[in-house]
Amino acid sequence: MKSKILIILIILTTLSSNILADEGNDKKKTLDWYLNLGVNIGGSMPVPLPEEVRKINDYNPKINPHIGISTIY
């Protein structure tokens, strides 16, 4: 059973490395620019609620905008 799983993993790794290989067709390297804009409202809370936060007395959400620029060469 373990040997079958190992063989399957080796085959999948080999196939995925061929997919990710560079074709070499690009003669000119370029920069790709990505602009990210967004707004965060609220927050997160752990799944088992702590005893201190079982009751919420008030809630005052703030608007948290974020701007990001990503480049890929």
Q: pLDDT value at position 48?
A: 77
Residue type, 65: P
Interacting residues of 26 by C-beta distance below 8 A, sequence separation 6+: none
55: nearest Cα among 45, 65, 63, 64 = 45
Q: pLDDT value at position 4?
A: 86
pLDDT tens digits for range 40-69: 776 666 677 777 777 777 777 777 888 889
pLDDT tens digits for range 24-41: 665 667 888 888 888 877
Q: pLDDT value at position 26?
A: 58
